[in-house]
Amino acid sequence: MARKIIVSNRLPVKIKRIENRLTFEASEGGLATGLGSVYKDGDNIWIGWPGLCLDEESEEQTAIAELQKENMQPVFLTETEIKEYYEGFSNETLWPTFHYFSQYAVYEQSYRDAYHQVNQKFCDQILKSANPGDTIWIHDYQLLLLPSMVREKLPDITIGFFQHIPFPSYEVFRMLPWRKDILQGMLGADLIGFHTYDDVRHFVSSVIHILGLAASHGIIETGNRSVMVDAFPMGIDYDKYADTAKSEKVAAIVNTFQEALRSRKIVLSIDRLDYSKGIPQRLRAFEMFLKQYPAFHEEVTLIMIVVPSRAEVEKYKELKIEVDELVGRINGSYRTLTWAPVQYYYSSFPFEELSAFYRLAHVALVTPMRDGMNLVCKEYIASRTDGTGVLILSEMAGAAKELSEAILINPNDVNQVVDALYQALTISEENQRTAIASMMVTVQKYDIHHWVNIFMDRLAYTKEKQNALKTTLLRGEIQQKLIKEYQQARQRLIFLDYDGTLMPFTRDPNKTKPDNELLNQLQALAANPANRVVIISGRDHTTLAKWLGHLPIDMIAEHGVWLREHETEWHMIQNLDNSWKEDIRPIFEMYVSRTPGTLLEEKDFALVWHYRKIDPALGETRAGELSSHLNYLIANQNLQVMEGDKIVEIKNIEVNKGIAAARWLQSYEPDFVLAVGDDRTDEDTFRMMPPEAYTIKVGNIRSVAKYHLHTTEDVRSLLQHLTGSAQ
């Protein structure tokens, strides 16, 4: 039975060593809550580090036995691996880069090596556990190399990946020395998820610029698979927060807190200690607020909860000192005998006490400098059981895309934060209730369970689409069967595309002249009296005749406009009009003028814009613009716009490679048919082939063809096998 395997850096459990004895305590994190229903169902499992370095094998065996009871499998890490893989590469290289703090990033090769080593450890554990039909869901930035590692060993398995932190723009991401490895690692997944569309856009842009892969509408073509990239905003366990906030235990805690705070208006700030959270900037804004609005002295208190994090890292030590000093300065300037403007807690709190703070707070101040999602704001909304409260939210948090009724601010604009605080503390209860009610509907509907379900549904859909267009690699027994049927056939028809099939692409399309090896192969193939060899190309007929006209082969040029059987003259498939070129040519010339490095190829009945030499992202953008422009101009005309491999072509709609190939199929009665091509235009050829034909796509396994080969060298090798086999 197919299972789901969840993989993350940490298991949803805390292992502690108390008096030489291991204790196991469930984690209360959002991910653990959301995926709890998944990994505990049937034989599903969760793979991750248990959170403690175990030195003794006996302790490891104890941990394995206990964790297996809860459907978990541990990956044990050493102290050095934690220092270099987790604290090092994950949190001193990737974390600052992905949060737009590149100036803090450390580029240390030993950290990168440890990161690769630990990702491989996770891969080895997956390989021990996974079966062919399983679904693997990998989480977050600590495991960016893992999808491709698993894909290499299990090429057909279903893999999803979700990143919980932002993905930076191309201009920031490109600074990473290991940028290609990271992108290629992530592209091992079938579906890649982020919190926001901005992250999706940045990731796709980096893939286009750095790897040169084609991408359209959230689908990246890797050459052998289509990878889908989409946004899946993560939610919280709404019922858990709402029910806890209503509980009698929390109500009692709220009463105790209110007595201590003397019923002042509360502004609540909860964060883990991190420079991406904007804690110093928040304190400076509150300090300015107190300066500008003295009427609020002794009327409002900022409760600032900072959860300790990475206390041994120098940057975090410096940040802790800065926060301490700011709190001290504000309280030193404004406190009275009965009032401290900032109640500062450098610690974590039990869940019920956090719930009490959420219920108590009139305003939630959530102003990260950059955040993937930020669930604190959603937890606050779910806990507002009386329907009041105000949320001040940074535009830089992913949650801002969903919670538009909040007071949205730029955390870098201290004056805007001050104005937002004043607005929040003076807003009417009616307006509070309207905004909270609207956001509560969103948080409740799009909760953590919805997030899990929609991601898994989309992953299944993506795999289904992949399989629907998936071809089989032509090798081994299949290739032997093809050769045997070729040998036994009495009349054979062989269709071969040219560019990208027989000859590799070059930056200049005019420099793809056939080499001697290819000419000799075609000569040998066509010399067999049982063979009818047809070159079927988008090239103009003059060039094909110049390069291949001396060979005993047939040719189809310009996607089917011009036809020539060996020893006959070229003729058109039908009478076509090319007067349209006078109106369209200036459009192509304008795009050549606008985009240095591109060129216009003119055929008898087609115009082609080539952009192989230019930046891939610019090329894709211009190609989209040109296609849209042309499609608008040719409405209701017998013309067709096609986007191929680094080209945009316009031609008469009455012809295509498939229609031309059908003429040969009708004229001859072959008992063996082979068609090989690499482009979208070759799909027309494949569709016209009889069911028993061998149809082969080059370079991409997504096709209506039955089989695929990876490169032009593989095609040459196949032809060599055919010409070298018994006649």
Residues acting as catalytic residues: 497
Tokens at 605, concatenated: 């009945």
The separation between CA 519 and the C-alpha centre of its own chain, rounded to angstroms, equals 43
The β-bridge partners of 306 are: 271
Nearest to 84 by CA among 105, 53, 113: 113
Residue matched to tokens 């991406």: 276
Q: State the helix-helix crossing angle for 712-724 and 516-527, rounded to 10 degrees.
A: 40
HSE on the CB side for 438, CA within 13 Å?
12
CB-count exposure of residue 109 (10 Å: 0-12, 13-18, 19+): exposed
- Return the DSSP state at 209: I
The separation between CA 465 and the C-alpha centre of its own chain, rounded to angstroms, equals 17
The sign of the dihedral angle between the CA atoms of 227, 233, 234, 237 is negative
Nearest to 575 by CA among 617, 638, 482, 492: 638
Tokens at 554, concatenated: 């047939």
Residue matched to tokens 């296609």: 627
Amino acid at 559: H
Nearest to 432 by CA among 394, 387, 399: 387
Residues 6+ apart with CB under 8 A from 234: 30, 34, 164, 195, 373, 375, 448, 451
Amino acid at 721: H
Residue 436, CA distances (Å) to 301, 410, 415, 429 in order:
22, 21, 24, 10
Residue 456, CA distances (Å) to 54, 159, 453, 577, 711 in order:
34, 10, 5, 51, 34
Give the burial string for 176-187 (b: 16+ CB within 10 Å, else e): bebbebbbbbbb
Asked if 722 contacts 524 with a C-beta cutoff of 8 angstroms, the reply is no
Tokens at 322, concatenated: 């800065």
CB-count exposure of residue 569 (10 Å: 0-12, 13-18, 19+): exposed
- Return the DSSP state at 134: -
3 state SS of 60: helix
Q: Given the DSSP bridges, would you call strands 639-644 and 158-162 parallel, antiparallel or unpaired?
A: unpaired
